[in-house]
Structure formats: structure tokens, C-alpha cells
Amino acid sequence: MKHLVCVALLTALLAGCQSYPMGLSEAQWNTLSPEQQADYTRQQAQVNERRRQQQEAAEQHRKSEEAARAAEERQRIQHLYARARYGDVVTVTIQGGLVAIDGKHRPYEPVRFDLVRGERKEIEFVQQGRSTSRNQIDVRLSDDGNTFYFDESARDRISLISTGWEQGKTHGPLDIRDGNSRSVASAITINLKFKELPGTPRRQEIRKP
């Protein structure tokens, strides 16, 4: 008995959800001849195709705009690197501890990369001993070059200021406790050092008398 009641309710629900071409009601649809129903069905198919084409065109336009913005950003970054002087670029080394890969804390291969003022990157972290397991984590160097951000989108992102970057400074162990962050980093260390470029201060040599 319960099974029959469930079937009846499901049938009624499906009937209530049924739609007809061109916004017609069930009563209107039932008054049409088979030829008229076929005509309305064709009209609805044409409307659906136009909508599909419009959506496809909008998606292509969105992708084109994204590609143009990405190309413009790459050109901007290339220009910054080409004109960079000492203090504009920092070399970052991240190692030790754990980051989230495939939803769990994993040891990862150390990473090293450069950042120029105002640059944001997606850095790929690869699980140790398992090169197919990876995670992308966002990093950024502020426009003034004085602050480095790791996992910038996290609520408790790591922010490090440019103290000691001339000789190189290691920060850590560092954690990100935001469970919704990309990294959920645990006990990682980050070393930051200004890249040697034109304008690098000369090291003073101390001569013994």
C-alpha cells in the first residue's frame, strides 16, 4: 500500500513539473491539434538553439577577455623584470613542514621562485615521492616590494615584511589554520632574499692593518 502511495505521489510530482513548449499551460497544450503541437515544438527548439548560441557567444567573449587580461598582465610583469633593480625582486624558498595535497597534509618537494614588485603567482606544490599529486597555492609580493604574502586568499594568510631580506631571512615554522585555505600549511619555512641585480650594495671589505 505504501509503495502505491509513493508511486502516485511521484507521478503527480512529475506531472506538476512537466513543461510545454513556448510557455504554454497543460490546458492550452491539450487544446492544440497534433500539427499545432509539432509547430510549437519546432518554435521552442529554435528558441533553445538561439539561447544556446547566445550563451556560447557570451562564454567565448568572457574567455577572450580573460585571455586578453592575462596577456596584458604577463606583459606588465615582463616589463617589470626587464627594468628591475636591486630591491625590486625577491627570491623565495619554501620547504619543510606540510601542505594540503589531495585533501590531506602531505610532505612536498621544496620550491624556489622569484617575485617582482606587484607580482602574483600560482605556485605548484608536488607531494614528495608522488609527482602526480599536486596543489596550486597563491603567493604575492606587494606593489612596494615590502611584504610577501603566502596563501593570500586564506583568512590567516602568512604576511612577511622585508626585514633582513638583504642577507636572506628564514621565517618559520609557519602555520595556516584556516581549514578552507588552499594550503592549510603546517610548520613550513620561508626564506626571502633580495635578488642580486644592478644597484646591489657593495660589500665592504675589512682590511687588517
pTM (whole model) above 0.95:
no
pLDDT average per 10 residues of sequence, the chain (209 residues): 46 57 89 90 92 92 88 90 93 96 93 95 93 92 95 91 93 91 93 89 55
SS (H, E, C) the chain: CHHHHHHHHHHHHHHHHCCCHHHCCHHHHHCCCHHHHHHHHHHHHHHHHHHHHHHHHHHHHHHHHHHHHHHHHHHHHHHHHHHCCCCCEEEEEEECCEEEECCEEECECCEEEEEECCCEEEEEEEECCEEEEEEEEEEEECCCCCEEEECCCCCCCEEEECCCCCCCEEEEEECCCCCCCCCCCECEEEEEEECCCCCCCCCCCCCCC
pLDDT in tens, 174-189: 999 888 898 999 999 9
